[in-house]
Amino acid sequence: MKNIFFSLSLFFVVLNLNAQNYDVRFNRTSVNCQTRQVCYDVQIRPNGATPFYLAGQNWRIYWDATKATFVSGTSALPTPLYTPYTQVQLVQNANADGVNGTLNFEANLSFLNYYMDLNNTVSGGILLPAGQWTTTSNLCFTVTQAVIDNPNTCIEMVFGRESRTAPYATAYVEVSRWLSAGVTTNSTGVLYDDMDATDGDQACFDVVCAISGISIADVTVNEGVGNATVQVCIPAATTAPVTVTLNTSNGTATTPQDYTALSNVLVTIPAGQTCTSVTIPITDDTINETGESFNITLTNPSANAAISDGSSTVSIIDNDAACNAQAPVISGN
């Protein structure tokens, strides 16, 4: 698992309050290479000396919509409304009289909007103790195949970064993230992200599958060798076992006359290794015949891998000599 920490610097626009900073921690919990779904546990904490309320449309997660699509999420914070946008919708806040205007968001970005009613901040807000992490929220995304195919491709996750129309004071107070614990409901919407990409308010997540490429090669064996050994491989070792289901099927070679069939065999490539071997018994008969073959198919890869080449042919070379029939010799008078 990968833990990533970064801070967002916030500054105050409407009231003369001190800015609050917060830390965000991501921990990737799962990657499914078949569904291309990636999930993270997310936590946030105030890093200031005093506690304060988390309220409003308070933590927004932006991501590059060309690489990932939001799937689901849960939160121990107020019930979230997850909505992807390319531009924020017109929202009226009861405590934001006279602050109506367009709020433009960066091109090709979307966000998750955690929303709660600001009309009753004290009862509706969440008081975050200083220096303590929130309980864990879970976020899941479906990434594009390009992200899976290229392990160095990143999904950029950004908290609360937006482009606003000037002046800042006319922007929606609904985009506020934090309220000081001592501020009343009439003083909502005072803290904003400073939109500075250099202050550590973004993180890159390297989505690495089990390098996505389970394969099996063709094999040629002599009929008298006893067994055909085939290798199931991945391009690079992983930190967790990779599994796949193996089945054989008849070609010109048939079972049990020519080989012993395998059905729904679970093949495991151990963690830290790139290949494993599977043995298939070959029948050594006494019949002279032309070369024969049977097929192997891989299915049902584990969630941390995908199949790049799931078909193999096992060719059997006959080892029986042809019988040279001779006409009988008849002797007599």
Predicted confidence at residue 83, as pLDDT, reads 30
Q: Are 222 and 305 within one domain?
A: yes
Question: 97 and 198 share a domain?
Answer: yes
Asked whether residue 275 is domain-assigned, the answer is yes
> CA–CA separation, 207 vs 39, rounded Å?
10
124's enclosing H/E stretch is: helix 121-124
Pull the structure tokens for residue 333. 């008078």
Do 11 and 97 fall into the same domain?
Answer: yes
Q: Select the more confidently predicted residue: 190 or 48.
A: 48
Work out how many domains the chain is built from and give that number. 2
pLDDT given at position 36? 80
**End of a domain among 206, 232, 251?**
206
Q: For residue 212, is pLDDT > 90?
A: no
Q: Is the pLDDT of residue 155 over 90?
A: no
The CATH number of the domain where 252 resides is what? 2.60.40.2030
Say yes or no: 15 and 69 in one domain: yes
35 C-beta neighbours (distance < 10 Å), count:
12
pLDDT score of 285: 77
- Clarify whether residues 84 and 189 are in a common domain: yes
CATH assignment at residue 189: 2.60.40
Asked whether residue 43 falls in the same domain as residue 135, the answer is yes
Residue 308 lies in a domain: yes
CB-CB contact of 155 with 143 (8 Å): yes
Q: How far apart are CA 125 and CA 117, in angstroms?
A: 9
- Tell me the C-alpha distance between 303 and 243, whole Å: 9
| Pair (17, 122) in one structural domain | yes
Q: Kindly state the helix (H) or strand (E) to which residue 147 belongs, with its residue range.
A: helix 145-149
Q: Do 123 and 218 reside in the same domain of the chain?
A: no
When pLDDT is averaged across residues 202-208 and rounded to a whole number, the result is: 51
Residue 326 lies in a domain: no
Element (H, E) at 126: strand 126-128
| 333 in a structural domain | no
The last residue of one of the domains, among 152, 181, 206, is 206
3-state secondary structure 229-253: EEEEECCCCCCCCEEEEEEEEECCC
Q: What is the pLDDT of residue 31?
A: 75
For residue 30, name the pLDDT band (cuts at 50, 70, 90).
Answer: confident
Q: Per the domain annotation, does 329 fall within a domain?
A: no
Q: Are residues 173 and 286 in the same domain?
A: no
Check whether 326 has a pLDDT greater than 90.
no
Q: How far apart are CA 226 and CA 232, in angstroms?
A: 20
Same domain, 293 and 189: no
Q: Is 293 helix (H, G, I), strand (E, B) or coil?
A: strand
Q: Domain containing 252: what range? A: 214-317
Q: Please give the Cα distance from 200 to 241 (Å, whole number).
A: 35
Domain shared by 44 and 165, yes or no: yes
Does residue 328 form part of some domain? Answer: no
The CA distances from residue 63 to 83, 86, 108, 162, 305, in Å, are 12, 11, 9, 12, 24
Model pLDDT, residue 231: 96
Q: What's the pLDDT at 233? A: 94
CA–CA distance, 217 with 229 (Å, rounded to integer): 10
Check residues 295 and 324 and name the one with the higher pLDDT: 295
Q: What are the pLDDT digits (tens) for 214-235?
A: 999 999 999 888 899 999 998 8
| CA gap 27, 164 in Å, rounded | 30
The pTM for the full model equals 0.48
Instruction: Considering only residues 253 and 126, tell me which one the structure prediction assigns the higher pLDDT.
Output: 253
| End position of a domain, from candidates 150, 181, 206 | 206
**DSSP codes joined into one string, 1-60:** --EEEEEE-EEESSS------EEEEEEEEEEETTTTEEEEEEEEEE-SSS-EEE-SS--E
SS3 breakdown of the chain: % helix, strand, coil, rounded to 5? 5, 40, 55
Q: Are residues 132 and 219 in the same domain?
A: no
